[in-house]
Amino acid sequence: MVDLNSWIKHGDEIRRPLIVNHDITKSNKVVIVGAGLSGLCTAFRIAEKRPDIEIILVEKSNRIGGVIETWKQNEWICDVAVNATRNHPAFWRLIDDLGLENKFNSSNPKAKSRWVIINGKKHKLSVFSLLKIGPIKLFSSLKKSRAGGFSVAEVLPNKQIADALTLGIVNDTSENVDADFLIPSITKFGPNPPLKKSKLNSLISKSYPLFKPKKGSLASLDGGMETLIFALENKLSNLPNVRIVLNCNTDSPESISQDYGIPESSIIWCAKNPENNIEFTELSVFVIGFSAKSVQNIKLGYGTLIPDKSLPISGILHESDVHVSKRSPEGHRLFRLMVPHNRWDMREDSVLECAEKLLGDNPVLFSKIGQRKIPRYKPGHLSSLYPKSSNYSALGWTVSGVSITHVVDESERISELFET
Ligand SMILES: Cc1cc2nc3c(=O)[nH]c(=O)nc-3n(C[C@H](O)[C@H](O)[C@H](O)COP(=O)(O)OP(=O)(O)OC[C@H]3O[C@@H](n4cnc5c(N)ncnc54)[C@H](O)[C@@H]3O)c2cc1C
């Protein structure tokens, strides 16, 4: 039974399993593998609670931040991976504790609209989109999903709407995505809260530090998500019990255990787990910029999802509309294009042609800014993790949650085990 305080602190994240070896709390030296957001947050949260524990954060590459990176060219700014956060008190607590409150803003309330292109036509997404499925059909599939292990396509039986949702979050089509993983509060995966959802939500919203976010809003950082990574790096470098080791070439818990003279139970694996054979999809990320005048017919909004496999672009994000901090030079607009490799001929011209058709001609900027792999969370993924014992602890987006609110909250959850 999970207590009410934990529900208030972590909300529906509590439904997700924490893959932890409880002997970790007996360690006086902890090695965290992977310096992406989850490794950095976990190091920060444990180190601030327990200055008596030595923490070594090992990273395979020559930089920290993992998939998070912000591209900058003159006054154009765009995140390659995550660009904004959904509401969750754990993220607000992190911003507060890092002293980033002056750089953290709610997204532009006028840029909330989302659209979906179905059969060449653009539709505004709203709760009414779900009614297209048919309320009775939707109700019965939601009820059925409580048994666990279903795909998102089975739970939301309208392929195009379901695909739009899953492509926008995990770059995969809905029949390949675990509904328990993506929408656990809807499938009612894991434990249920001890009081009504509306009462719990009201208690959660009172727990936000800094400011109470509006329902459905997003928030982002001046200068992009790299601002968060730099702040974490700065904090960690000032904590005497933390050491970051870059270019570390170990790929198994056994070798980490030998190299650092610790039992495997003292390892927190925040990278692709060497034991699970999780697959990845791949996508490229492009930016396209226009003078505001030349795209004045494009409504202010969050973005457009494109489940249509015949087009190389699966999503367009209105970067300069959404963020309060500047993402483009004055009088210009910036859009980010998501291009899954399984529907692209790998020619940049095809992306440009498609973007010009969807947005407009004569861009003043067009560039590929990065390429990323996204874990696949196949139906049954979350139930396969729960309950599970492990020789070492394993966190991060290759385990039980895809979003940054998940990895930030999970770091808090594991650090709570260290409270003396
Ligand atoms: C294109 C894209 C868009 C996204 N959009 C959103 C969004 O809108 N909202 C949202 O909430 N989330 C979004 N995300 C997800 C978000 O970015 C991730 O949840 C988060 O950044 C994952 O952090 P992580 O530390 O778990 O993993 P990673 O960032 O993958 O970090 C893992 C680290 O481990 C290192 N590593 C790997 N193997 C080893 C080894 N053997 N030894 C040592 N180090 C190793 C890697 O080099 C890497 O630095 C997006 C992601 C992508 C790619």
pLDDT band of 132, cuts 50, 70, 90: low
Check residue 133 and give its pLDDT: 63
How far is ligand 1, taken at its centre, from the CA of residue 65, in Å? Answer: 8
Check residue 274 and give its pLDDT: 79
Residue 267 has φ and ψ, to the nearest 5°, of -105, 135
pLDDT in tens, 204-245: 999 999 999 998 899 999 999 999 999 999 999 999 999 999
Crossing angle of helices 404-416 and 89-97, rounded to 10°: 70
Check residue 128 and give its pLDDT: 64
Check residue 158 and give its pLDDT: 85
Domain harbouring 370, CATH code:
3.90.660.20
Number of structural domains found in the chain? 3
Query: Does residue 323 share a domain with residue 272?
Result: no
Compare 250 and 258 and report the one with higher pLDDT: 258
**Closest approach atom of ligand 1 to CA 38:** 25
Is residue 35 within 6 Å of ligand 1 at its C-beta?
yes
Whether 61 contacts 246, CB under 8 Å: yes
Whether 312 contacts 352, CB under 8 Å: no
Query: Does residue 98 share a domain with residue 21?
Result: yes
Compare 76 and 143 and report the one with higher pLDDT: 76
pLDDT in tens, 91-108: 999 999 999 999 999 999
**Which of 148-162, 182-196, 342-356 is modeled with the greatest confidence?**
342-356
Query: Does residue 347 share a domain with residue 390?
Result: no
Query: Does residue 388 share a domain with residue 261?
Result: yes
Query: Does residue 285 share a domain with residue 273?
Result: no
Compare 164 and 138 and report the one with higher pLDDT: 164
Query: Does residue 95 share a domain with residue 63?
Result: yes
pLDDT band of 161, cuts 50, 70, 90: confident
Residue 340 included in any domain: yes
Query: Does residue 143 share a domain with residue 120?
Result: yes
State how far the Cα of 55 lies from the Cα of 39, in Å rounded to an integer. Answer: 11
pLDDT in tens, 312-325: 999 999 999 999 99
Residue 260 predicted with pLDDT over 80: yes
pLDDT in tens, 358-417: 999 999 999 999 999 999 999 999 999 876 678 999 999 999 999 999 999 999 999 999
How far is ligand 1, taken at its centre, from the CA of residue 352, in Å? Answer: 27
Say what percent of the chain tops pLDDT 70: 97
Residue 246 predicted with pLDDT over 90: yes
Task: Mark which of 140, 165, 182 sits at the end of a domain.
Answer: 182
Residues forming a β-bridge with 336: 287, 317
Check residue 331 and give its pLDDT: 98
Check residue 149 and give its pLDDT: 86
Residue 358 included in any domain: yes
Query: Does residue 100 share a domain with residue 14?
Result: yes
Q: CB under 8 Å to 288, separation ≥6 — which residues?
A: 334, 335, 337, 352, 355, 359, 363, 365, 366
Residue 216 included in any domain: yes
Query: Does residue 171 share a domain with residue 33?
Result: no
191, amino acid identity? P
Is residue 397 within 6 Å of ligand 1 at its C-beta?
yes
pLDDT in tens, 325-369: 999 999 999 999 999 999 999 999 999 999 999 999 999 999 999
pLDDT band of 141, cuts 50, 70, 90: confident
Is residue 37 within 6 Å of ligand 1 at its C-beta?
yes
**Containing domain of residue 60, as a range?**
4-104+211-278+378-416
Residue 93 included in any domain: yes
How far is ligand 1, taken at its centre, from the CA of residue 61, in Å? Answer: 13
pTM of model > 0.75: yes
Residue 250 included in any domain: yes
Query: Does residue 100 share a domain with residue 85?
Result: yes
Residue 203 included in any domain: no
Domain harbouring 58, CATH code:
3.50.50.60
For atom 22 of ligand 1, which residue has the closest CA? 397
Query: Does residue 74 share a domain with residue 14?
Result: yes
Residue 187 included in any domain: no
Residue 355 included in any domain: yes
| Per-residue DSSP letter, 401 | -
State which of 397, 406, 408, 410 you would mutate to test the pocket of ligand 1, scoring each by most atoms of that ligand within 8 A of its C-beta: 397
How far is ligand 1, taken at its centre, from the CA of residue 35, in Å? Answer: 9
Compare 135 and 195 and report the one with higher pLDDT: 195
Check residue 210 and give its pLDDT: 96
Average pLDDT, the chain: 94
Q: Hey, what are 145's tokens?
A: 């999903």
Ramachandran region of residue 82, left (φ > 0), alpha (ψ -120 to 50) or beta? beta
Report the 10 Å Cβ neighbour count for 52.
9
pLDDT band of 42, cuts 50, 70, 90: very high
Name the residue with tokens 């949702």. Answer: 165
Query: Does residue 382 share a domain with residue 368?
Result: no
